[in-house]
Amino acid sequence: MNSAPGTTKAKQQHQPVMPVQVLNGLCVKREGKFVDATYGRGGHSSLLLEHLNNEGRLLVIDRDPQAVSAAKQRHGADPRVLIAEACFADLGEALESCAWAKVDGVLMDLGVSSPQLDQADRGFSFLHDGPLDMRMSPQQGISAAAWLDNADSTEISRVLREYGEERQARRIAQAIIRQRELNPLQTTKQLAELVAKVLGPAARKFNKHPATRTFQAIRIHINDELGQLQQGLKAAMHALSVGGRLVVISFHSLEDRIVKQVFKAVSTNPSVNRRLPMPDLPEPEFKNHGKQLPTATEIEANARSRSAVLRVLERVRKPQSEAVL
Ligand X SMILES: C[S@@+](CC[C@H](N)C(=O)[O-])C[C@H]1O[C@@H](n2cnc3c(N)ncnc32)[C@H](O)[C@@H]1O
DSSP-assigned states of every residue in 144-161? HHHHHHHS-HHHHHHHHH
Half-sphere exposure of 33 (CA within 13 A, CB side): 14
Longest CA–CA separation in the chain, Å:
68
Q: How far is the CB of 41 from ligand X (least distance, A)?
A: 4
Identify the DSSP state of 187. Answer: B
Residues 21, 52, 113, 147: which binds ligand X (CB under 6 A)?
Answer: 113
Q: Which stretch binds ligand X (CB under 6 A): 33-41, 179-187, 233-241, 268-276?
A: 33-41
163 binds ligand X (CB under 6 A): no
Helix (H, G, I), strand (E, B) or coil at 82: strand
Q: How far is the CB of 113 from ligand X (least distance, A)?
A: 4
Q: How far is the CB of 277 from ligand X (least distance, A)?
A: 44
Rounded-to-integer distance, Cα 154 and Cα 59, Å? 41
250 binds ligand X (CB under 6 A): no
Helix (H, G, I), strand (E, B) or coil at 196: helix
43 binds ligand X (CB under 6 A): yes
Residues 52, 58, 60, 67: which binds ligand X (CB under 6 A)?
Answer: 67
294 binds ligand X (CB under 6 A): no
Side chain identity at residue 288, one-letter code: N
Side by side, the strands of the sheet bearing 240-250 are 81-85, 57-62, 33-36, 103-109, 240-250, 309-315, 286-292
Report the residue number, 62 or 285, with the smaller CB distance to ligand X: 62
> Pick from 57, 61, 123, 125: which is nearest to 91 by CA?
61
Number of residues forming the site for ligand X (CB under 6 A): 22
Rounded-to-integer distance, Cα 117 and Cα 145, Å? 17
Residues 21, 26, 33, 42: which binds ligand X (CB under 6 A)?
Answer: 42
**Is residue 236 within 8 Å of residue 245, measured between CB atoms?**
no
> Pick from 121, 137, 163: which is nearest to 253 by CA?
163
Q: How far is the CB of 86 from ligand X (least distance, A)?
A: 7
Report the residue number, 119 or 153, with the smaller CB distance to ligand X: 119
88 binds ligand X (CB under 6 A): yes
Report the residue number, 195 or 248, with the smaller CB distance to ligand X: 248
Report the residue number, 104 or 109, with the smaller CB distance to ligand X: 109
Q: How far is the CB of 39 from ligand X (least distance, A)?
A: 6
Query: Dihedral (C-alpha) 155, 158, 160, 163: value to the nearest 10 degrees?
Result: -120
Q: Which stretch binds ligand X (CB under 6 A): 55-63, 168-176, 200-208, 258-266?
A: 55-63
109 binds ligand X (CB under 6 A): yes
Report the residue number, 32 or 115, with the smaller CB distance to ligand X: 115
User: What phi and psi, each to the nearest 5 degrees, are found at residue 39?
Assistant: -60, -45
Helix (H, G, I), strand (E, B) or coil at 285: coil
> Pick from 106, 18, 21: which is nearest to 61 by CA?
106
Report the residue number, 112 or 254, with the smaller CB distance to ligand X: 112
C-alpha of 35 from chain center:
14
Residues 136, 169, 246, 259: which binds ligand X (CB under 6 A)?
Answer: 136
Q: Which stretch binds ligand X (CB under 6 A): 41-49, 125-133, 144-152, 197-205?
A: 41-49
35 binds ligand X (CB under 6 A): no
Footprint of ligand X (CB under 6 A): 14, 16, 38, 40-44, 61-64, 67, 87-89, 109, 111-113, 136, 228
